[in-house]
Amino acid sequence: MKLIFLGTNGWYCTKTGNTVCAAIVAKDRLIVLDAGDGFEKVPELAEKEKKKKIDVFLSHLHLDHAGGLHALPKFEKTHRVRIFAAWEYMKDLEYLLDHPFTANLKQLKACVELLPLKCGLNRLPYALHALPLVHADPCLGFRFELEGKVIAYCTDTGPCGNIPELGKEADALITECSLPPRTKPLRHWPHLSPEIAARLAREARAKLLILDHFDANNYREMGERKIAERVARGIFAKTIAAKDGLVLSV
């Protein structure tokens, strides 16, 4: 199974990358994690990988995670796109994906549905667990179990017990890395440093940690991501710092 990183910045796009979006290339579909500006590359990826079904999971609606949805008109008529988000965000999402912000879903070439997340009740052909994380607005972390692999995705969060819970023995645990090394999360703006992410991956006994969502203000050069990777590897050896275009086999 392939994991492809299409956007790896937090907050805003810079020369280091687009805002967050990643895709799990499964046998019969793409599972897309968040829809920052990297989401614009998903329609081409779906064509290249010959996937018609695209399931998009939004952790929350901050614009670095949802702003890329303005690229929905790029999907072809043959694509079937389902966008899942926490039920409390459905009204906001319907409001955002309509005039005067963008085209109404009914005007799009592809069939696009918005669906509230109800763990175990969405009749998905893979196991999904979602748990709340610690953020300025409600935010969900995800654990996907499919084709014998476990992928966990925990972004926009301060340290919390649900990260190792979702990432327990995961083949790949993707966490945010908004803070630079040697910084502590602020109470009103909880995020992770590479050291905290590494400790959580160790606690989860994950097989691989991927650092993602590098805050554009804190990580201005790619070299700073490499330093974060090195620092994290001192605690959890199997760590990779993501960058746009990274493709991993899990």
Interface residue with Zn ion among 10, 38, 167, 190 (CB under 5 A) is: 10
Which residue bears the tokens 């079937």?
80
DSSP-assigned letters across all residues of 195-246: HHHHHHHHHHT-S-EEEE-EETTT--SHHHHHHHHHHHHTT-SSEEE--TT-
58 and 85 in contact (C-beta within 8 Å)?
A: yes
* Binding region for Zn ion (CB under 5 A) out of 6-14, 191-199, 227-235, 239-247: 6-14
β-sheet bridge partners, residue 56? 32, 83
Nearer to Zn ion, 9 or 26 (CB): 9
The whole-angstrom separation of Cα 166 and Cα 169 is 9
Taken as a whole, the chain contains a residue count of: 250
* Binding region for Zn ion (CB under 5 A) out of 64-72, 75-83, 96-104, 106-114: 64-72
Does the protein bind Zn ion through residue 62 (CB under 5 A)?
yes
By CB under 5 A, the residues from 117 to 176 that bind Zn ion are: 156
Does the protein bind Zn ion through residue 37 (CB under 5 A)?
no
Which residue bears the tokens 């500006």?
37
CB of 190 to Zn ion, least distance (A): 10
Does the protein bind Zn ion through residue 34 (CB under 5 A)?
no
Buried b / exposed e across 3-21, counting CB within 10 Å, b at 16+?
A: bbbbbbbbbebeebbbbbb
Enumerate residues 6+ apart whose C-beta is below 8 A from 120: none
Nearer to Zn ion, 64 or 195 (CB): 64
Nearer to Zn ion, 9 or 239 (CB): 9
Helix residue ranges, H only, 73-180: 90-96, 162-166
Nearer to Zn ion, 62 or 225 (CB): 62
Nearer to Zn ion, 69 or 110 (CB): 69
85 and 116 in contact (C-beta within 8 Å)?
A: yes
Does the protein bind Zn ion through residue 64 (CB under 5 A)?
yes
Nearer to Zn ion, 127 or 136 (CB): 136
Dihedrals phi, psi of 32, to nearest 5 degrees: -105, 130
CB of 52 to Zn ion, least distance (A): 29
Does the protein bind Zn ion through residue 215 (CB under 5 A)?
no
Count interface residues toward Zn ion (CB under 5 A): 4
Nearer to Zn ion, 140 or 150 (CB): 140
CB of 207 to Zn ion, least distance (A): 25
**Residues in contact with Zn ion by the rule CB under 5 A:** 10, 62, 64, 156
